[in-house]
Amino acid sequence: MKSKLISGILIVFLLFSCDSSFEDLNYNHNSITTDEVIPPSLLIKGTMLADIAINQSHLQRIAGMWTGQYRGEISLYLGIYNYDISSQESTSAWSYLYNGMLKQFSEINKYYAINGMDTEGQLITGICKVLEANAVGTATSIWGDIPYSEAVNPAISDPVFDKQSDVYSALQIKLDEAIVLLSDPTTKSTLAEDIFFAGNKDKWLKTAYTLKARYYLQTRQYTAARANALNGISDYAGTMKFTPLVTAATGTENLLYRFMAGTRKGYLTVNNTFCRNLLDTQTSFPTISRRNAKTNEQARRNHLNAGSITGTNTTTIINGELKPMDLVTYQENLLILAETGARTVTFAEGLLQLNKVRTFLASADSFDKRATADVKLYTAYVAADFANGGMENLNNIDSTRALLREIIEERYVTGFGTFMPWNDARRLRKNEYDIAVKIPLNNTTATLHPERFIISQDEINTNSNTPTGLTIFSPTELNE
């Protein structure tokens, strides 16, 4: 791994440039090679933007195509939709992680090693650990084994690929370290450069706990996931999200909107996707529709199609220009509590937490009504709805399994635009297919769903430790 120092100033500048989106960061890997120690305040915002790009850009769109949330229509995206993908597609996200984040964190650590740690340093270091856990957790979930313990070490040109399970364990330790710093009463709680929470350490602390819960859920440690989610994000104001600038300047919009409205117009659509049809009327799609006497998804469906454009093979834009981009959310934390409550406590606990999600969905915070005619209906479920013959258990399975099935389906639609649906599909497909969302394959010749992305071609070219023989259909260690 041949990493170079990339200035966070460059990344921030590109965010506000007039002709490009920050997911298209044009790194010049040879532009800055100084050994100068850069103040962390000049680097922290750049790492946040790189984290957004890892979680919300090209690879997320691909995962969405592979889980029935988008359809590729033409050119590159049509091929990828049909599972024809190369290692080149991972290159930009790989660079965001190792050059845009981990290398910058090493520079921040170097600064405090030389200058000492003040109260702002405690805050920045705690935030960096949470950001690192968010990005690396996404990376290991989508690629499997990755360089981590030896990554961005200038003395090691070919870092080892750590086992996926070891990376998850390391991230739990990283988040514990963040929790110690963010819980310290002496730690500062304001930071102008923080584009998520303005340095509010309590919100970062709860984000750390929700990330711990996310990774325990992904590794099927459900008791630990619940214990941490109980300390996680407790209201919508605590959601870790980036809201694009109100100036609506080109290059600063919601990434999915920019992709749909920019030069890739027509490449991607939600028309006739499994997810959209799931949100449609029972009469249109009676076998898969989520709608029932207590649920009407019209408002959510229309919220995801925020505007109209003209272009090849599509008439819709996914997401609005200024729609916030969610990274770690209140509703995710509630859904972790719902699933783990049903699994490890009681049916009643799982139902209680699911109904909290439904209360949130019915609120003004969840999503906009795009027109006055839109309907948003999420009445609380009762136990009878999941009993044999109930509206959520027409095939008469165990009532707790029926509840879990509804929780997983809610995670699928709530997680639109994130990696949550793909992570759940791979977590549940092999051993818990009875509660998994039945995502169809994208063509009649395919027999398997994709299980991972291929390591970046740049890493393949430069690191002799890169695993060989893997395809997108090779399960990661967690899902073997």
292 within domain boundaries: no
Instruction: Give pTM, 2 decimals.
Output: 0.92
Predicted confidence at residue 15, as pLDDT, reads 41
Give residue 416's domain range. Answer: 8-248+323-479
347 token code pair: 């049916």
317 in a domain, yes or no? no
**Mean pLDDT taken over the chain:** 89
- Would you state the pLDDT for residue 118? 96
- The pLDDT-based confidence of 373 (bands split at 50, 70, 90) is confident
Q: Is residue 1 part of a domain?
A: no
CA-based nearest residue to 152, from 135, 175, 169, 130: 135
pLDDT at site 312: 38
In a domain, 265, yes or no: no
Nearest Cα to Cα of residue 25 among 1, 44, 6 = 6
In a domain, 298, yes or no: no
User: What is the count of structural domains for the chain?
Assistant: 1
Is 268 a domain residue?
Answer: no
Structure confidence by residue, pLDDT tens digits, 30-80: 333 345 678 999 999 999 999 999 999 999 999 999 999 999 999 999 999
| pLDDT for the residue numbered 9 | 38
Residue 474's domain is classified under what CATH number?
A: 1.25.40.390
Q: Are strands 305-311 and 161-162 parallel, antiparallel or unpaired?
A: unpaired
pLDDT tens digits, one per residue of 391-448: 999 999 999 999 999 999 999 999 999 999 999 999 999 999 999 999 999 999 999 9
pLDDT digits (tens, 9 = 90+) for 165-190: 999 999 999 999 999 999 999 999 99
- pLDDT tens digits, 193-239: 999 999 999 999 999 999 999 999 999 999 999 999 999 999 999 99
**Does a structural domain hold residue 272?**
no
